[in-house]
Amino acid sequence: MIKKQELTELTKEELASELQNLGEKPFRAKQLWQWIYYRGITDFNLMSNLSLALRQKLIDNYTITRPKVITEQISVDKTHKWLLEFADGERVEMVYIPEKDRGAVCISTQVGCAMGCKFCHTGSQHFTRNLTTGEIVGQFMVARDAYKEWPSPTDETRYLSNIVVMGMGEPLNNLDNVVRALNILTDSEGISISRRRITMSTSGIAPKIVEALQRTGVRLAVSLHAPNNAIRSKIMPINDKFKIEDVMKACAEYQQGDHSRYITFEYLLLKGINDSQENAKELIKLLKKYKLRALFNLIPFNPWPNCIFEPSERKTVEAFSKTLEEAGFAAPIRVARGQDILAACGQLKSKMPKA
Ligand code: SAH
Ligand code: SF4
């Protein structure tokens, strides 16, 4: 039996050429696209404006599948975490973080992660494989199914308003699939999430930063976590390959000539490691040196089983924030969400250690 082609793996152009190969006119591709990405329909039989003959051809040759939901947990603060499984049995976690009248879906780009940041639960799982285009898009579709956010004539409210590419994995190391997936997710005839509402976080793959932003047009967040190479290398092995200076230069290049481009620097506070006033001052100097328009997102450390770090004291975090703010940088302290179900930053993991 020939394996059927999964349609969510295809870009709009590729879908159009598939239909052309079936002898269909271009507008049929548009109709099919809208069924999949505007209505969220997975059953070809429900695609009422396609001829019966075309529906049969589609049934015979194609599939539209969602990642399988293995478990779901909802935190006391309403953060929602899913463990999802793909066709080959590999799994990732996805999180929805609701705010009052909006919310962000945090999607994964890899099974595990090769970066091995010492403070990150995902990093302790090692890398298995990249996610495909359809697997990345499929995560958001699962969230839309769960919250019934496919368009309805009576309710156009969007609680799943933002996407953060901050789940498991390093997105810049799976850039082709991430670009394809973001093109699908932002397409105005489908899911239509604005690129301004998408933030992609990288651990600092310096040579790919400019390319990634040129190809996606989304917002950039960089996991900085240290003011100098000595500290950063201790907690993020990737820093041995791409130094802070490489990352800063890439950020400066990205901002050149475009004043609307702001960068968020994520800064995780680890007790006694990177949270002193001296560290804060060094950080300010670093950003000023490269003349970056940036804000900080201070992340209190979220512990996970057997981790070696401790969160900084609340007053230390507040003092760190104050010093950055006095130097002119916004530096809000991120409120941890979903900690009780291990859904907060850096707590995701889809495989348990082998006994
Ligand atoms: N892999 C990407 C995006 C996913 S992680 C990256 O590293 O940028 C999202 C953010 O959570 C990153 O800034 C990451 O460094 C941070 N993080 C990792 N482990 C954490 C933990 N235990 N507590 C709090 N934040 C953590
Ligand atoms: Fe990977 Fe990001 Fe975790 Fe580092 S923090 S191990 S890059 S997921």
Residue ranges of the domains in the chain?
A: 5-63, 68-341
Mean pLDDT for 317-326 is 98
pLDDT in tens, 85-97: 999 999 999 999 9
Burial class (CB in 10 A: 0-12, 13-18, 19+), 347: buried
Nearest to 263 by CA among 210, 310, 305: 210
CA 297 vs CA 157, 233, 251, 267, 333: distances in Å:
28, 20, 16, 6, 6
Instruction: Give me the mean pLDDT over the 268-295 stretch.
Output: 96
Q: Which of 18, 90, 93, 170 is catalytic?
A: 93
pLDDT tens digit string along 245-255? 999 999 999 99
Q: Which of 106, 127, 166, 263 to mutate to test the pocket of ligand 1 (most atoms within 8 A of CB)?
A: 166
Confidence (pLDDT) at 354? 46
Strands 198-202 and 219-223: parallel
Query: If you take atom 6 of ligand 2, which residue's CA is the nearest one?
Result: 123
Checking if the pLDDT of 63 tops 60, the result is yes
Distance CA 231, CA 237 (A): 11
Sheet containing 91-98, strands listed edge to edge, beginning at the edge strand earlier in sequence: 68-74, 80-85, 91-98, 103-106, 162-165, 198-202, 219-223, 263-269, 294-300
User: What is the arithmetic mean of pLDDT over 42-47?
Assistant: 97
Helix (H, G, I), strand (E, B) or coil at 325: helix
pLDDT surpassing 90 at residue 261: no
CATH code of domain 5-63: 1.10.150.530
200 token code pair: 């992609």
307 is catalytic: no
Q: What is residue 155's predicted lDDT score, i.e. its pLDDT?
A: 67
Ligand sitting nearest the alpha carbon of 266: 1
Choice from 168, 203, 267, 309 to test ligand 2 binding pocket (greatest atom count within 8 A of CB): 203
- Mean pLDDT, to the nearest integer, of 186-198? 95
Q: What's the confidence (pLDDT) of residue 158?
A: 80
d(CA 193, CA 104): 11
Whether the predicted pLDDT of 352 surpasses 90? no
* pLDDT band (50, 70, 90) for residue 153: low
Which residues touch 44 (CB under 8 Å, ≥6 apart)? 50, 55, 58, 59, 62, 64
Annotation marks residue 72 as catalytic: no
**Which of 92, 93, 121, 122 should be mutated for ligand 2, with most atoms under 8 A from CB?**
122
Give the pLDDT band (50/70/90) at residue 3.
confident
Decide if pLDDT at 353 tops 60.
Answer: no
Secondary structure E strands in the chain:
5-6, 62-63, 68-74, 80-85, 91-98, 103-106, 110-111, 129-130, 162-165, 198-202, 219-223, 263-269, 294-300
- Ligand that comes closest to the CA of residue 125: 2
Ligand 1 contacts (CB < 6 A) are: 117, 119-120, 166, 170, 201-203, 223, 266, 268, 299, 301-302, 345-346
For residue 336, which atom of ligand 1 is closest to its CA?
Answer: 24
The whole-number pLDDT of residue 312 equals 96
Identity (one letter) of the amino acid at 191? Answer: I
Q: Say if residues 278 and 269 touch (Cβ distance below 8 Å).
A: no
Residue 69 has pLDDT above 60, yes or no: yes
CA geometry: angle 143, 84, 335, nearest 5 deg: 60
Q: Hey, whose CA ends up nearest to atom 9 of ligand 1?
A: 166
The burial class, CB within 10 Å (0-12 / 13-18 / 19+), for 201 is buried
At 58, is the pLDDT very low, low, confident or very high (cuts 50, 70, 90)?
very high
Q: Which band of pLDDT confidence, cut at 50, 70 and 90, is reported for residue 152? A: low
Distance of CA 222 from the midpoint of ligand 1 (Å): 10
pLDDT in tens, 107-139: 999 999 999 999 998 878 889 999 999 999 999
Write down the CATH number for the domain with range 68-341: 3.20.20.70
Atom of ligand 1 nearest to the CA of 204: 8
Residue-wise burial string across 248-274, b where 16 or more C-beta atoms lie within 10 A, e elsewhere: bebbbebbeeeeebebbbbbbbbeebb
Phi first, then psi: give them for residue 153, nearest 5 degrees: -60, -20
- Residue 4 CB coordination number (10 Å): 13
pLDDT of 355 reads: 40
Residue 99 CA to ligand 1 center (angstroms) comes to 20
Please state the pTM of the whole predicted model: 0.95
Mean residue pLDDT across the chain:
93
